[in-house]
Amino acid sequence: MKFEHCIRCTICVENCPVFRVNPSFPGPKQAGPDAERFRSEKDKTVDHWVMLCSQCKRCDMACPCGVEPAQIILRAQQRYGSEHPRSAAHLLFANNFYLSRLGSVTAPLANRFAGAGIGKKILRRAGITTYIPFPEFSFKTMKKQTKAAGRGSRKVAFFYGCFINFYRPDIGARIIRLLESLNIDVAVPPQWCCGLPALGNGNLDLARYFARKNVASLSDYVDAGYDIVYSCTSCGLCLLNDYQGIMEIPRAKKIAQNAYDLHEYILRLIVEKDIRPAFGEVARCVAYHIPCHLRALKIGYPAAELMKMIPALECHLLDDACCGLSGSYGFKKTNEETAVQLGRRAVSLIRKTGAGSVVSDCGSCRMQLGGLSGMDALDPAEIICESLGIDVKGKKPAAR
Amino acid sequence: MSLIEYDAIVIGAGVAGLTAGTLLAEKGKKVAIVTAGEPTACLSTGCIDFCSNMDNPEEAIAALPAHHPFHLVTKTQIHEAFYDFKRRMAGAGLSYTGDTNRNRHVLSAIGTFKTTCLTPETMQASPQNEQENIHIITFSGLKDFYPGYIISRLKNASFSTYDAGISTTMGLASLFEDENFLETFLLWMEKQNIRENKIAFPAVLGLESASAVKKTIEHRLERPVFEIPTIPPSMPGRRLFNCLKDGFRRAGGVIYWDWQATGAEKSGRLIEAVITGSHGRPNSLNAKAFILAAGSFVGGGLRAGHSNIVENIFDLPVFTPGKREEWFEQDYFSVNHRIGRAGIIVDESFRPVEGPWDNLYACGAILAHVEALKNGCGHGFALATGRAAAESLLEAGR
C-alpha cells in the first residue's frame, strides 16, 4: 500500500492481462495508485470497475517501485463489495465452499444439472458462464486423517484446497501416496476454504471467518511438529500473504513460516539429501503453464526443477500469459469475454511449443486451458507420480 | 541456504543484466536473474544508443573522459556485444539496423530527431531529414501523440486519423495483431489516397509480431512504413525487453520476479547469497558469483538520501559527485546534472573497487561516471558492460 511511490511509469498497465483485452478496465495504475488518491473515507465508492480486476497480481510483480497496485485494488474491491448490493454470481462464488459441499453431497444430481441445457440456462441467468464445462463435483471428498500414522522421517499436514477436495480428490489421494512413498507421514487436518474466493468476490468478513478457522486448526499441527504442505498455489498465496496482509489474522505468521508448496517441499528434501527418489522415464512433451500466483509466491518454479530430473520428459516453461480464468473470475458473465480472449492467447502459446499436454499447479488454470484447448491438463504432481510409478489407485511402491 | 545453488545470480533484468545472464547461460552456467520488477528498458524507445553525442559512435566513445567506464571495455568487446545483440534479436524475429561507426536518426513524436546507433526494423525507414515526404496515421483519442507537433517541423508531412475505438498504445497493439482488424484498417487506408512517399505510425503496430504487421502494411500500400516511438506504454521498449528475456530463458536461465534483493549473506571475501523480504521463512538464493546490474536511481540500484547516496544490497561504496547542492543544475532539462555521475567505481575486471568482495561484479547504469543522458550511451553501454562483466566472471573461473 505505497501508492505515493508510484512514478506513473505504466509498467503495471503493460502487464495487466485484463487491460489488454477489456477497454472498460482502466488498468492497474488508474484503478490502483491513481484512484487511491481520490478514495475518501466519507463518500460512498463509485469505482465499479475495480471489480473487473482479476487479482492475478502481475502488476505487483512487475512494478519496479514496490507499489503493489493489486493490493490497493483488492482493498478497493472489499470496500466496493461492502457498500453495494452484490450480484448473484458474486454471492454464489464467495460462498463457493458451501456451494461445493452441497454439490459434492448431491454429486450425480448436481453434475447432471450443471451439464444439462436447462441447468446451463439457469446458471447463465444467475450470471455464470458456461463456455467451458463446469467442473464435475466428486461425490467422495478428501478423507480427514487427524493424525499421521507411520514412522516416517517427517510429518506433514496437507492443505488440499477446494479444487482437489470437491472436484479431484483422486489427485489429493495421489499426492498423499507420493509423500508417503518418500517416507513422509501425512495428516489431513480439519480445514476450510482458504478464503480467496470470498476475498475475490468482495466479502472480507467471510474470508476472515474461513482464515481464522484454518489458522486455529493448522497452528495446532505446527505446534505438534508438522510441516504444512499445500498443493494449490492460490491457496498457498492466500495463506502466506493475505492472512497476514489484508485479513490481519493473528498467528498467521506462524502458518506462513511453516507452510510449503508441495514441490518446494520435495525439492528441499532432495537438495538436503534426505530423500533420493528414483525418477523413471516419462516419455511426454508437456507445456508447463506457470500460474500467476505461483510467480507471486517468490519461490521460483520448484515443480519445473523436479520435472528436469525426470528422464525423457520434455518440458516447455511458459510464464508470460495469464490463463484468464482466475478462479471464479472468468465464470462470471461480465468477465466471460475477457477470460475467453486471455485463455485463447495462453492456448496459442501452448500450441506453439508442440506439447502434447498442459501441466499447471493451479486447478483453475487447468480447467481453463484444458477446456479451451481440448488437451490433457495435468497437475505436476501427476507427472511426478507417473515417473515414480505411483499409480491411480495409490498403490505404494517399494520403499526407496 | 537456498534450494538451488546457482553458478551466478544477476541482480536486475534490464539490458545489462539480461545480456550478462544470457552469455553466462550460453556458456553452460546455471544462472538466475532476480528482479524487483520490470526494467526501465520497457519504458525506452527500443533504440540502442552506444554513444550518440557525435556522428560516429566509435569515435564518440574514444573521446569520452578518461574515467568513463566505457574505456574498461575493449573495442573488440563492443563489436562482439553489438553483433551478438543483432544476431539474437534477428533470431527472435525483431531485426535491428545500424553500424558501430555511424549514428542514425529516428523521428520523435514532437517532430525532432533522436540520434541513435541501432534501430528496430519498424523504425528503419524513419526519415533522416526534415525535407522528407511523409504521411502520419494517428488514432482517435490516442493520448500524448499529436501529429501537429511533427507537421510544424516537417513541412512535407500530413496526417489522417483512424477511429479504432481504442485510445491506448497497448490496446491498439493488440488490435493490430487481430487479422480482421488489420484487414478493415487496410481497406480504410487504401481509400485515403495517400500521396506521400512514406507512411508513419505511432509505435503501436503489434507487440509480438510488429515486423510482420509492418511488412503487411508496406506490401499493401506499396511504400515504406515506419513507427514513431511514443511515451510509455512504449511498445518498442517492451518488444526489446520481451526478446532479451525470452533469449535468456531459451539459453536456460531462470527469472525470479518481484524478488527485490534487500541484503546479502557474506563470508570472508565472498558473497554467498542474496536475500529478499518474506511473509514467512527467510527467502534467500545462493550462488558462486553475483553480478549487480540493478540500474541507477530510476532502476532502483542507487538511492539518494538527503546528503548521501547508497547502494542497498551489498552496501558498496558509492561515488558521490560532491555535496547535495552540487548534484543538480539550475536548468531542469540540462543533461549535465552531476548526479548522473554517481555510482559504483569498478576495476578493469568489473569488480567494485574498495569493496572487499572477490565474487561480485557490477555493470550497466549503476556504474559511476556513465552520464547516460549527456553521452547518449544507455542501452549500448549496458550491452557492452553486461557482456564484459560476464566474460570477466568466466575468466576468473567462477
Q: Identify whether the C-beta of residue B23 lies closer than 8 Å to the C-beta of residue B391.
A: yes
- Does residue A394 surpass a pLDDT of 60? no
pLDDT single digits (tens) B31-42: 999 999 999 999
- Does residue A239 surpass a pLDDT of 50? yes
CB contact under 8 A, A300 and B281: no
Same domain? B119 vs B217: yes
Q: What are the φ and ψ backbone dihedral angles of B313, each rounded to 5 degrees?
A: -80, -50
Kindly provide the ipTM of the predicted complex, given to two decimals.
0.89
What is the residue-wise DSSP string for A340-367? HHHHHHHHHHHHHTT-SEEE-S-HHHHH
Mean pLDDT of A214-220: 97
Q: Which of A52, A83, A114 is the last residue of a domain?
A: A83
CA distance B38 to chain A (A): 5
Same domain? B136 vs B223: yes
pLDDT at residue A327, as a whole number: 85
The type of residue at B199 is I
CA distance A353 to chain B (A): 12
pTM: 0.93
- Indicate whether B170 belongs to any domain: yes
Q: Which residue has the higher pLDDT, A97 or A54?
A: A54
- Indicate whether B48 belongs to any domain: no
pLDDT at residue A111, as a whole number: 81
Q: Which of A28, A62, A83 is the last residue of a domain?
A: A83
Q: Which of B228, B259, B289 is the last residue of a domain?
A: B228
The domain in which residue A18 lies consists of 3-83
Query: What is the H or E stretch that residue A253 is in?
Result: helix A252-258
- Which residue's C-alpha cell is 473487473? A52
Q: Which of A32, A51, A83 is the last residue of a domain?
A: A83
Residue B121, domain CATH:
3.40.50
Confidence at A395, pLDDT banded by 50, 70, 90? very low
Cis peptide before B282 (omega within 30 of 0): no
pLDDT at residue B1, as a whole number: 58
Interface test with B, best of A6, A7, A11 (most B CBs within 10 A): A11
Q: Alpha-carbon torsion B248, B251, B257, B260, what sign?
A: negative
A:B CB pairs within 8 Å = 94
Alpha-carbon separation of residue B90 from A109, B79, B106, B167 (angstroms):
57, 16, 20, 30
- Indicate whether B207 belongs to any domain: yes
Give chain A's domain count.
Answer: 2
- Does residue A94 surpass a pLDDT of 80? no
Q: Which residues of B touch A (CB under 8 A)?
A: 3-4, 32, 36-40, 42-43, 165-166, 170-171, 174, 232-233, 238, 242, 249, 254, 256-260, 276, 278-281, 283, 298-300
- Does residue A398 surpass a pLDDT of 70? no
Tell me the chain A residues in contact with residue B300 when contact means C-beta distances shorter than 8 Å: 64-65
Report the range of poorest mean pLDDT among A113-127, A318-332, B330-344. A113-127
Lay out the sheet containing A376-378: strands in order across: A314-318, A285-289, A357-359, A376-378
What average pLDDT does chain B have?
A: 95
CB contact under 8 A, A258 and B3: no
CA distance A46 to chain B (A): 23
Tell me the chain B residues in contact with residue A60 when contact means C-beta distances shorter than 8 Å: 258
Give chain B's domain count.
Answer: 2
CB contact under 8 A, A19 and B39: no
**Helix B235-250 and helix B15-26, axial crossing angle in degrees, nearest 10:** 20
- Indicate whether B273 belongs to any domain: no
Mean pLDDT of B169-195: 94
Comparing alpha-carbon positions, the chain A residue that sits nearest to B295 is A64
- Does residue B148 surpass a pLDDT of 80? yes
Mean pLDDT of A184-196: 95
For A10, residues 6+ apart whose C-beta sits below 8 A from its C-beta are A29, B43, B232, B233
Q: Looking at the partner chain, which of B165, B256, B260 has a beta carbon nearest the beta carbon of A66?
A: B260
CB contact under 8 A, B254 and A241: no
CB contact under 8 A, A298 and B259: yes
Mean pLDDT of B321-341: 94
- Indicate whether B267 belongs to any domain: no
CA distance A395 to chain B (A): 30
The domain in which residue B207 lies consists of 109-228
- Does residue B366 surpass a pLDDT of 90? yes
Residue A292, domain CATH:
3.40.50
Tell me the chain A residues in contact with residue B278 when contact means C-beta distances shorter than 8 Å: 298
- Indicate whether B354 belongs to any domain: no
- Does residue A400 surpass a pLDDT of 50? no
pLDDT at residue A396, as a whole number: 44
CB contact under 8 A, B280 and A268: no
Q: Which residue has the higher pLDDT, A126 or B321?
A: B321
pLDDT single digits (tens) A98-156: 878 888 888 877 887 777 778 777 777 778 877 887 788 888 888 888 887 778 889 99
pLDDT at residue A107, as a whole number: 81
Q: Identify whether the C-beta of residue B298 lies closer than 8 Å to the C-beta of residue B292.
A: no
Same domain? B214 vs B312: no
Interface test with A, best of B1, B2, B3, B140 (most A CBs within 10 A): B3
A287, β-bridge pairs:
A316, A358
Residue A46, domain CATH:
1.10.1060.10
Q: Looking at the partner chain, which of A14, A255, A302 has a beta carbon nearest the beta carbon of B3?
A: A302
